[in-house]
Amino acid sequence: MRKTIFPSLLIILSILVITSCNNKRENISGNVNKVSENSYDSLPFYNPSLSIDERVQDLISRLTLEEKISQMMNGTPAIERLHIPPYDYWNEALHGVGRTCAATVFPQAIGLGATFDADLAFRVSTAISDEARALYNATAEKGYYKQYNGLTFWTPNINIFRDPRWGRGQETYGEDPYLTAVLGTAFVKGLQGDNPNYLKTAACAKHFAVHSGPEQVRHEFNAEVSQKDLWETYLPAFEALVNANVESVMCAYNRTNGEPCCSNNYLITDVLRNKWHFKGHVLTDCGALEDYYKQANEGGHGIVKTETEAAALALKSGVSLNCGVTYSALSNAIKEGLIGEKDIDTQLAILLKTRFKLGLFDPKGSNPYDDISFDVVNGKTNRALAKEAAQKSIVLLKNNGILPLKNDLSKYFVTGPNATSIEILLGNYYGVNSNMVTILEGVSAAISPTSQLQYRLGAMLNKPNINPINYAIGHAGSSDVTIVVLGLSSTLQGEEGDSIDSSTAGDRLDYDLPDNQIAYLKQLREAADKNPEDKKPIVAVITGGSPINLSEVQELADAILMVWYPGEEGGTAVADILFGNVSPSGRLPITFPKSLDQLPAFDDYSMKGRTYKYMNQEPMYPFGFGLSYTNFTYSNIKAASTTISKSDSVKVQVKITNSGKVKSDEVAQIYISDIEASVSVPNFQLINTKRVTLEPGESKDLEFELTPKDFEIVKEDGTRTIELGEFKIYVGGSSPMKRSFELGAPKMSEILIAIK
């Protein structure tokens, strides 16, 4: 009897065990995105009532060495035995959730910089993080854990756009450290949310530090910079974002003062960790560690000989996350005695905290962001916000009175290589959706249905027409107005591998518009002026992510709009400006020099002669400049006291009046100049700005509070101090650079304040 029953029992038990294991495997493979309830009960790292540090340490204690290493590269695999799904840290949200599902496309970052509007930046990034959570909730439910599906966004780019040749300058907020810090801080706050227990998404400050081209040599280049320039220009925005609790910092490809940024002891340890007390994780730019063991003749830094040495050096330098696969060599680094497993545990603990803060190990419904629904993604509210941002980003550079246009003229002619381009709406690091409004579409929707609208491409983006016959040109003489859309696109400027029609890796070493575009504009001008008694106007709409030599456009066109890369509602916003539904209020976040001859060499990282703060030559268009459809006047400037001590704050008031006939926003800007400094200082520097809406004839009193920090100067050793003496305060609608007022900016109000 026993011999008969016992084998049967064994068979039954075996079947039960196999069935149980298969059920578990099905649960893991089919529902790896859903953590089982038993896991919450049995594993402390799934217990939200414990502290994050306790949970992180519990999780690390359960991982093998290989599992630990696998979780320190951007594409992390699932750990099925612990019910941990895959996760990829690499995601983008520069001006909308990028490279994933359809989402709202906001204006490129340089366009947001042109708004000078921190509140708008916050609202834009809040909308982006809403969409990010909605997309994550939906894709995670389906078990999609691909690259660009996560909640860790490698944005914003807060490098200083120090030279207009840099193709990636479009990703920044411009050339000014203060403006970059203010907009970057607002953007981070919108991305990360204000919940005390959870991150909405995780933001990243990049590229740390002293990184702004050239693209062609970024993997081997050494940026040499003085302590004064470092602390006066290149680091303030990073410090501001660290103070705003940005979750991560990305180190740059290049070397800074001899050391590669991802193992730069001064930048990462002395400054980021010890001086600023940064608590988040540091990550590499993608593939940056490969540059460590590539020799100079291979286009790298050549500071180590092997991948193993590169991985060990970065880890020991405080880098927690490797975008790439170099950290797969960390196990060899342990075998070779270059690091210990405790070194891995230390950096992994910092990194894992981010995923816990995002709620990725908590039961669904634990955080308020789990319930953001998919209908916010590119919904009406966010499209309206994208349009508002584009409207506020557009800069009117010239207007001889032709703008705004009437919308019921008999004939309009829209032409130019970018009039129907989707590329010029996007810039780089973009998302997409099914409703991208081109400039032609925007104009078409804005004009009277009885008005004739002609469109011809007229010219290629950057090469001459082969056919000498061009039917487009004649329309300039027979139309009430020609709207010609010229400029650049991301095919010509951007990152090294994206700008497929650039021979210089996305940088713009030629400052001019393509020759064929200028030739076409000249042909249009000739046709428009054919009848001397009835010359027809030409409006030039310029796209691009950087300053461009527009000297000939300034002479040939009756009006010029700089529209950047304006996003999904770009065509609508441009039409709103053209036809006067909105008065232009964008301001240049970067100086437009007359030519590159006015600038130092591209690879010279000294700030001398660069940007509005240090440039002594007359620019084409000054920093902060932009015209309106009305006139503003500044008057009655006064300070609560014109003599203060080093520790005092002081309030400055000024009256601003819309002295024209059109409702409009004005961007009031306040600058300071230390006129008695003992060391070299900026000519003047932006310290605050306010956007104000004024009806025709309306006046408002604006008040700015100047703190002791505003009076600080940076000494040659990089330290800050406040010196006794006089300071000039300027308030107006542009920077005090040469040509501001000649071009039509309102005259600034000035006052002297003395520190005694």
Backbone φ/ψ region at 438: left (φ over 0), alpha (ψ -120 to 50), beta:
beta
Whole-angstrom Cα distance, residue 377 to residue 374? Answer: 6
Q: Is the Cα torsion angle 188, 189, 191, 196 positive or negative in sign? A: positive
Residue in this structure with the two tokens 């306790």, named with its chain if needed: 54
Strands 720-721 and 259-260: unpaired
Whole-angstrom Cα distance, residue 328 to residue 691? Answer: 50
Q: Element (H or E) spanning 157, and its range? A: none
Residues forming the active site: 285
Burial (CB < 10 A; 0-12, 13-18, 19+), residue 449, is exposed
Report how far apart, in Å, the C-alpha atoms of 618 and of each of 398, 598, 614, 615, 674 are.
17, 9, 12, 8, 21
Taking alpha carbons only, the member of 114, 209, 202 closest to residue 157 is 209
Whole-angstrom Cα distance, residue 550 to residue 567? Answer: 23
Taking alpha carbons only, the member of 339, 413, 399 closest to residue 557 is 399
Q: Is 155 helix (H, G, I), strand (E, B) or coil?
A: coil
Taking alpha carbons only, the member of 185, 543, 276, 606 closest to residue 395 is 543
**Structural tokens at position 419:** 């009039």
Q: Which residues contact 652 (CB under 8 A, 6 or more apart)?
A: 637, 638, 639, 640, 670, 703, 704, 705, 706, 729, 731, 751, 753
CA atoms within a 13 Å half-sphere pointing along the CA-CB vector of 753: 29
DSSP code string of 398-459: EESS-PSPPS--SEEEEESTTTT-SHHHH-SS----S----HHHHHHHHS-TTSEEEEE--S
Residue in this structure with the two tokens 């400094």, named with its chain if needed: 677
Q: Is 429:499 a contact under the CB 8 Å cutoff? A: no
Whole-angstrom Cα distance, residue 66 to residue 328? Answer: 9
Beta partners for residue 699, in sequence order: 657
Q: Is the Cα torsion angle 94, 366, 246, 261 positive or negative in sign? A: negative
Whole-angstrom Cα distance, residue 667 to residue 594? Answer: 24
Q: Edge to edge, what strands does the sheet with 452-456 contain?
A: 395-399, 559-564, 538-543, 481-487, 411-415, 452-456
Q: Is 406:592 a contact under the CB 8 Å cutoff? A: no
